[in-house]
């Protein structure tokens, strides 16, 4: 019986030692975690870089939009000019038919 009691006491002592080591390890982990959290919270996020990137993207989009608007204006002008030339030719032909210099 004494052997069993001695064995149990030995196991209890070892268990207590393991528990104490685990508590100490947990305490160290908590301290490191708190320190890391403080460092993260105190660190400033580089908003200047993000804002600069945002401004660059917006500027690029504006430039692209302006280019497309300019191309659209050019194409509209070209279409209008071609339409006017066709109308002039049709009017000339109608006038020639009316005055008899060209037959229908």
Please check whether residue 42 lies inside any domain of the structure: yes
Please check whether residue 19 lies inside any domain of the structure: yes
Please check whether residue 90 lies inside any domain of the structure: no
- Weakly modelled stretches of the chain, pLDDT under 70: 1-2, 4-5, 102-104
Q: What is the pLDDT of residue 1?
A: 61
Please check whether residue 45 lies inside any domain of the structure: yes
Please check whether residue 103 lies inside any domain of the structure: no
Please check whether residue 86 lies inside any domain of the structure: no
Q: What is the pLDDT of residue 96?
A: 87
Give the domain range for residue 52: 2-78
**1: number of Cβ within 10 Å:** 5
Please check whether residue 89 lies inside any domain of the structure: no
Q: What total of structural domains would you count in the chain?
A: 1
Q: What is the pLDDT of residue 68?
A: 92
Q: What is the pLDDT of residue 28?
A: 87
Q: Are 101 and 94 in contact (CB under 8 A)?
A: no
Distance CA 35, CA 62 (A): 45
Burial 35-47 (b: 16+ CB within 10 A, else e): eeeeeeeeeeeee
Under DSSP, is residue 43 helix (H, G, I), strand (E, B) or coil?
coil
Please check whether residue 83 lies inside any domain of the structure: no
pLDDT in tens, 42-71: 877 777 888 899 999 999 999 999 999 999
Q: What is the pLDDT of residue 104?
A: 57
């Amino acid at each position: 019986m004494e052997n069993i009691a001695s064995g149990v006491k030995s196991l209890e002592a070892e268990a207590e030692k393991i528990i104490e080591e685990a508590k100490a390890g947990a305490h160290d982990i908590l301290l490191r975690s708190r320190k890391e959290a403080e460092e993260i919270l105190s660190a400033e996020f580089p908003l200047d870089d993000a804002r600069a990137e945002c401004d660059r993207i917006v500027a690029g989009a504006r430039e692209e939009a302006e280019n497309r608007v300019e191309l659209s204006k050019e194409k509209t002008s070209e279409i209008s000019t071609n339409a006017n030339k066709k109308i002039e030719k049709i009017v000339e032909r109608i006038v020639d038919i009316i005055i008899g210099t060209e037959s229908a």
